[in-house]
Amino acid sequence: MKSYKHIFFDLDHTLWDLERNASETISELLSSYKLEDKINSTGHEFIKEYNQINDELWELLRKGQIDRQTLRYERFRRVFQLFGMKDEELARKFGDAFVKDSPRKPHLIPGAREVLDYLSQKYTLHIITNGFAEAQEVKVDFARIGHYFTHIINSEQAGCNKPDPRIFEYSLDLAGATKSESIMIGDHLEADILGAKNAGLDQVYFNPNGKEHNHQITYEVKHLLELQQIL
């Protein structure tokens, strides 16, 4: 087994429970904007449609086909339209409120805090994230995990998104780390795992739902606490 010194974590869906935090925020915003009756649906259905549209737009962002401002507002504009609301100004306000409020939600993926306690005693930890720069530092602060990390590296700061190898090179340079002593942990097969692999880093694929794939990966876990068995 290699002797690692630096561990690079993805943030959303790997440590920070994006789905739970986003769902809570959207439910609260639908209530505060008094939209429950207007959407003529349950909040659960609204959130389900949001998740699908948001995932599609993030994929376009990773591929460089849209910019962050488009993602920020287009996702709610599209969801609102699905539920018969064509008020674009309201969609913009809702999008701004979501970006402001959701990062303040503190929920972590099960096992995250325990595994960070464990790993921080043995390794230097960092985060590499594609999320909005204004939001990611807030997430880390409100979830009370900032003290575990030496660097929190954002794609806006690096000038490129995962899986671009340049964001991993940038992160290694910032951390003063070599590829051979570093490993990347993330939930997104293409952005986190294949991105790191193509950049020459070992990887741990956090795959809680057991998604099938045919890629050769250094390690794969279904629960974060399994990291204690391999690192």
Residue-level pLDDT, tens digit, the chain, 231 residues:
678 999 999 999 999 999 999 999 999 999 999 888 777 667 888 999 999 999 999 999 888 899 888 988 999 999 999 998 888 899 999 999 999 999 999 999 999 999 999 999 999 999 999 977 888 999 999 999 999 999 999 998 998 999 999 999 999 999 999 999 999 999 999 999 999 999 999 999 999 999 999 999 999 999 999 999 999
Q: 18-104 adopts what CATH topology?
A: DNA polymerase; domain 1 (1.10.150)
**Which pair of tokens denotes residue 50?**
């949001």
According to DSSP, residue 164 is labeled S
- Cβ atoms of 202 and 172 closer than 8 Å: no
Q: Which tokens in the block code for residue 31?
A: 């209530």
| CATH 3.40.50.1000, applies to 6-17+108-230 | yes
pLDDT number for residue 84: 87
The reported pLDDT for the residue numbered 1 is 60
Give the contacts of 2 (CB within 8 A, at least 6 positions apart): 180, 181, 183, 202
Ranges in the chain annotated CATH 3.40.50.1000: 6-17+108-230
